[in-house]
Structure 1
Amino acid sequence: MSASQLPTEHLGEPPRTGGATARGALLMGRYRLVRRLGRGAFGTVWSARDERLDREVAVKVLDREHVIHARFEREARAAARLQHPAIVTLYEAAVDDDGAYLVSELVRGRTLEGLLEAGMLSDREILEIGVALCEALSHAHAQGVIHRDVKPSNVLVPSHRGRAAGLGPGLGESAKLTDFGVAHVIGAAALTRTGDIVGTLAYMAPEQACDGTSGPHADLYSLALILYEALSGVNPRAGTSRRRDSAPLPPLRRQRRDLPRRLAAGIDTALRVRPEQRGSLLDLRATLLACLDQADDTPGVVAPGWRGKDEETWVRDAPGPEWIERRQGSAPTLQMTGSSASGLRLGLTTVMRLEWFGRALNAAAAGLGAAWLVTALWTRPPFEPALVAVVVALVTLVVPLAGVLLSGVALGVVGLAGALPALVAKLAGHWWQRALLGAGALCGLVIAGRLSGHNLYWLPARIPPSDPRALLALAAWALAAAVAPLLRTRRFPLLDLMLAAMWSVGLVVAVGASGAHPLVGELPGALLAAVIMGWGPLLEVFEETRAMAGIHDDVA
């Protein structure tokens, strides 16, 4: 029964003790109050027993003087439409002369605010919670509901987190968002300076704090600010005045340099002053998911890792019955918002960061190199070149180092063999493996070139392979491959790009100084090597520049 269907005279007058609802009171003729879970500025949360359906619920009792009656029914109806594993289900709502009552599901757990204060969450757990909240808010926005007051005390973390069947990673397993619509039914001046603006100032988007404008981008801003604070321990909006609400926030990596640049850039983007430049919840969710594997899984230093306690908050471990009764596919899916160019850049960045992408390129090159070598060595190949290419590619996909020499042949055919040491450096783990493969790759190119009659990189016409000067070329490739991964500061991407360029030029100069002549594709190979070496730093520069450009635009 909804609030609109429940007449005031059916609420059942609860006994009062000192102005507060008493333990054991029967509310609305069915909810027996059992235990007070907490008292806030505008009401009290109780665990209660639904005597009609024999289940545990939570009852939030809002002080009547703080409730805007005209808004209460409208907001309750909107909140009741939300059926999602990461959102606290609202069962019933009612209002009388003494107060307003919100009956919801009950979960044993703790608030995000309490867990952060105790240092009980790791970076990875924070990102998982962020994913769940992105999905919860996306569902609400698809139903036309704006939260308006996203903050750590409204984020509830169940003590026993389980994945909802049939749903994506992070969905409903890490956190639940509560108090949908409550901010809009409370008009007390303690929340904000006027009764028309709702929310908590420390987590408000600039446009919401200035003129009360609250939309999907305002909820996105509040969520990003929660993640900023959770990861850094600092809320830059806390204690600020209204006049400074439009000031851009300092970049997240200024607080924590050890965080992945993509993660920091994604959160910084969602915190831009201009709503249209924040991207979407989908963008933020994709960033959080992409950075999960890089996130530290060690809880905070204040307390040991939290694995579930007996404290109760206004959440329940499993989705409410309304969600269970719905079809699995009935939940709205995330919709892409923001510019298509932004999504394209995000997708390109994600794909090029994946480990399998580099393996796939290496496997394809090895297959092509094997096919070319078969046709070059035999007039009538004993095996079909296409079949050889497929087999070699599959083997190389499983064992990347197995196809490095053949990848070098493919690069040599197109005049890019000078990039092979950079490829070796990306695939081999130990320095001695890189050194052996670097020298072996050059030997393989020379031998394949002499056998096939093609100059794949360098045919030793002036100096025989036994000449000491030839050994200098082998040493140059071995040394270049061995030291390449060491030329990364991992903190200064522009310097990393310069080191990659210097490494590439130095390799060409060293091989040329040994007497090797002519070198095929000397310049293109050096450029490709620099790209392979500097791709990671280049992406980091791109992401950081994107974030800083948005901040500068906001200032302008």
Structure 2
Amino acid sequence: MRTHIGKFEIVRLLGQGAMGEVYLGRDPGIGREVAIKTIRPALIGEDMGGDLRDRFAREAKAAGLLQHPNVVTVFEFGTDGDLLYLVMEYVPGEDLATLLQRGELRPSELLEILAQVCEGLAQAHKHGIIHRDIKPTNVMVQKEDGELHAKVMDFGVAKLNDGELTQTGHVVGTLAYMAPEYLRTGKSQPASDLFSVGVILHEGLSGERPFAAPSSGAMVYTIIHDEPHPLEDTTFEGVSPSVKALANRLLAKDPSSRFPTATDAARALRAAKNPTWIAPLDDATVALPGSSGSGHPMASTPRKARPEWAVWAVGLGVLALATGIGLASLRKVSTPAPPAVNTHINEVVLEEAARQMDAKPEHALKLVQEVIDATPDNQPVDPDAYALKMAIYYRMGFMELLEATAQEARDRKTSGAEMLKNAKFRAMLEKDKVHGRKLSADLRERLLKGEN
């Protein structure tokens, strides 16, 4: 083990992971103990685009702006030969993930910890810094004389509001804790951090995360569309039953339906420690953006139950054919155009749709439609989205909707040659040519030629 990193003496290894090690060090000038986070030299050599260096620089720049009791202080960022290192405040204690795994925290203690996390986030948000990766492993907790003290750390994926630290549409962080608007657009906001706090609150109270799915693509869809798993009343022992409303508010799909600021969230979390506290409204919103609210800060129009997919699909096809208009013209025109396409998330979702289309075609169709709907009209739709949508309709026997989708793809100027590269789509066309013959010969031949 090294004896020094920069001017700092190494005392012992605190931990290690895929990217590097964290050491307990000592500043020889003043004798202060510090934590030194490093990146493995081998990884630096593989970092052709400078991403790891940039991430370290981001963490130093972001956290270096903050001085708050609930944020780990960063003292210095430097290099020692080919080693990158970050010197920060040493926090003796354990991370929140460890405490949750051991089940040692009472609900009131969890609320206090998360209130302090929100106070640290409030300081970051005041400086225009969004953390973007709030999760239990990034919260250090100290216990002194029966008191809990939490500190937010690892601003390595933080975003400054000036936009210089990240590319638009590039999603970083931990999927299970990401906010729906972040997954949709790749753009974060202070309320996105509060959603992550809501995930931790739900997880700490119930022992499970509010959204669960067997794969990353399904997880993306679940976070964007589905309700969180309900909290059981037994999780509120010793605290206000309004914790349920508080968790639902933090997990609202619409970021404007969460708390106005992290400071407001901290106040509510701390108030909920009192068993007699009653939230202004116990049915907090989980409505999607665009739903109209009652004007109360914790109220909005409830989500309507989603209709059965087959009924919706057939009804939409009949409407399109009866009126002589394509599916593209049936899109809602009142919804503002979404931001730039998030190609990374699209790829994840479409890969999941391809896996699901044989066993769960209705679910796969929803995933594909999400990608199409999230693409602004002035931008090209991923060819795989239309290719899979047609293949799924073929699988479900909806030939009219398949033909309408082909027309929509042409209207959106989606490349037929690119669609033909999709294995599921091409296999569908080849099967129909040899065995099925469900498609019109003209449409099948045009699609096989990559024409649209």
TM bin, normalised by shorter chain, reads 0.5 to 0.7
Structure 2 matches for 1:104-123, cutoff 5 A? 104-123=88-107
Given that 2:195 and 2:250 are in contact with CA atoms closer than 8 Å, whether structure 1 keeps it comes out as yes
1:83 alignment partner, SS class: coil
Given that 1:263 and 1:287 are in contact with CA atoms closer than 8 Å, whether structure 2 keeps it comes out as no
Take 1:248 and 1:265, find their aligned partners in 2: how far apart are those partners?
A: 17
Given that 1:110 and 1:159 are in contact with CA atoms closer than 8 Å, whether structure 2 keeps it comes out as no
Q: Which residue of 2 aligns with 1:210?
A: 184
State yes or no: 1:36 paired with 2:36.
no
* Cα gap change, 1:101 to 1:272, in 2 (>3 Å): same
Specify which of 119, 137, 151 is matched with residue 176 of structure 1: 151
Once the two structures are aligned, what percentage of the paired residues are identical?
Answer: 38
What amino acid sits opposite 2:19 in the alignment? F
Take 1:248 and 1:543, find their aligned partners in 2: how far apart are those partners?
A: 19
Q: Which residue of 2 aligns with 1:543?
A: 282
Q: Deviations over 1:437-464 (max 9, x none)?
A: xxxxxxxxxxxxxxxxxxxxxxxxxxxx
Specify which of 242, 247, 262 is matched with residue 225 of structure 2: 247
1:253 alignment partner, SS class: coil
Take 2:220 and 2:275, find their aligned partners in 1: how far apart are those partners?
A: 37
Given that 1:232 and 1:252 are in contact with CA atoms closer than 8 Å, whether structure 2 keeps it comes out as no
Take 2:272 and 2:282, find their aligned partners in 1: how far apart are those partners?
A: 14
What amino acid sits opposite 2:268 in the alignment? T
1:58 alignment partner, SS class: strand
TM-score (norm 1): 0.45
What's the offset of the Cα at 1:113? 0.5
Q: Which residue of 2 aligns with 1:291?
A: 272
Take 1:130 and 1:181, find their aligned partners in 2: how far apart are those partners?
A: 20
Specify which of 29, 45, 48 is matched with residue 52 of structure 1: 29
What amino acid sits opposite 1:203 in the alignment? Y
Q: Deviations over 1:135-157 (max 9, x none)?
A: 10001100111111100001111
Given that 2:58 and 2:157 are in contact with CA atoms closer than 8 Å, whether structure 1 keeps it comes out as no
What's the offset of the Cα at 1:102? 1.0
Q: Deviations over 1:356-414 (max 9, x none)?
A: xxxxxxxxxxxxxxxxxxxxxxxxxxxxxxxxxxxxxxxxxxxxxxxxxxxxxxxxxxx
What amino acid sits opposite 1:180 in the alignment? F
Q: Report the structure number with the largest CA radius of gyration.
A: 1
2:282 alignment partner, SS class: helix
* Cα gap change, 1:554 to 1:257, in 2 (>3 Å): farther
State yes or no: 1:79 paired with 2:60.
no
What amino acid sits opposite 1:178 in the alignment? M
State yes or no: 1:271 paired with 2:271.
no
* Cα gap change, 1:182 to 1:48, in 2 (>3 Å): farther
2:173 alignment partner, SS class: coil
What's the offset of the Cα at 1:52? 2.5
Structure 2 unaligned segments of length 5 or more: list them: 161-167, 288-298, 307-452
Q: Which residue of 1 aligns with 2:115?
A: 131
What's the offset of the Cα at 1:255? 6.8
State yes or no: 1:103 paired with 2:87.
yes
Q: Which residue of 2 aligns with 1:26?
A: 4
Structural RMSD (CA)? 3.1
Q: Which has the higher contact order (CA 8 A, sep 6+)?
A: 1
Given that 1:90 and 1:105 are in contact with CA atoms closer than 8 Å, whether structure 2 keeps it comes out as yes
2:264 alignment partner, SS class: helix
Given that 1:161 and 1:174 are in contact with CA atoms closer than 8 Å, whether structure 2 keeps it comes out as no
Q: Which residue of 1 aligns with 2:309?
A: none
Take 2:232 and 2:85, find their aligned partners in 1: how far apart are those partners?
A: 44
Take 2:138 and 2:192, find their aligned partners in 1: how far apart are those partners?
A: 16
* Cα gap change, 1:283 to 1:154, in 2 (>3 Å): same
* Cα gap change, 1:251 to 1:552, in 2 (>3 Å): farther
Q: Which residue of 1 aligns with 2:144?
A: 160
State yes or no: 1:142 paired with 2:126.
yes
Q: Deviations over 1:228-265 (max 9, x none)?
A: 10111111335453232302333643474646332210
Given that 1:86 and 1:135 are in contact with CA atoms closer than 8 Å, whether structure 2 keeps it comes out as yes
What amino acid sits opposite 1:41 in the alignment? A
Take 1:249 and 1:230, find their aligned partners in 2: how far apart are those partners?
A: 18
What's the offset of the Cα at 1:112? 0.6
The structure that is helix-richer by fraction is: 1
Given that 1:108 and 1:158 are in contact with CA atoms closer than 8 Å, whether structure 2 keeps it comes out as yes
State yes or no: 1:69 paired with 2:47.
no
Take 2:153 and 2:304, find their aligned partners in 1: how far apart are those partners?
A: 31
Structure 1 unaligned segments of length 5 or more: list them: 1-21, 164-172, 186-193, 296-349, 354-538
Structure 2 matches for 1:321-332, cutoff 5 A? none
What amino acid sits opposite 1:94 in the alignment? G
What's the offset of the Cα at 1:286? 2.4
TM-score (norm 2): 0.54
Take 2:263 and 2:64, find their aligned partners in 1: how far apart are those partners?
A: 24
Specify which of 299, 302, 322 is matched with residue 552 of structure 1: 302
What's the offset of the Cα at 1:212? 2.0
Take 1:250 and 1:70, find their aligned partners in 2: how far apart are those partners?
A: 35
What amino acid sits opposite 1:244 in the alignment? T
Q: Which residue of 2 aligns with 1:361?
A: none
Given that 1:57 and 1:104 are in contact with CA atoms closer than 8 Å, whether structure 2 keeps it comes out as yes
2:128 alignment partner, SS class: coil
What's the offset of the Cα at 1:128? 0.8
What's the offset of the Cα at 1:48? 0.9
Take 2:30 and 2:71, find their aligned partners in 1: how far apart are those partners?
A: 21
* Cα gap change, 1:547 to 1:71, in 2 (>3 Å): closer
* Cα gap change, 1:243 to 1:97, in 2 (>3 Å): farther
What's the offset of the Cα at 1:183? 5.9
Given that 2:157 and 2:173 are in contact with CA atoms closer than 8 Å, whether structure 1 keeps it comes out as no
Take 1:230 and 1:51, find their aligned partners in 2: how far apart are those partners?
A: 40
Q: Deviations over 1:12-35 (max 9, x none)?
A: xxxxxxxxxx2x43111x112221
* Cα gap change, 1:235 to 1:270, in 2 (>3 Å): same
Take 1:204 and 1:146, find their aligned partners in 2: how far apart are those partners?
A: 13
1:150 alignment partner, SS class: coil
Given that 2:130 and 2:159 are in contact with CA atoms closer than 8 Å, whether structure 1 keeps it comes out as no
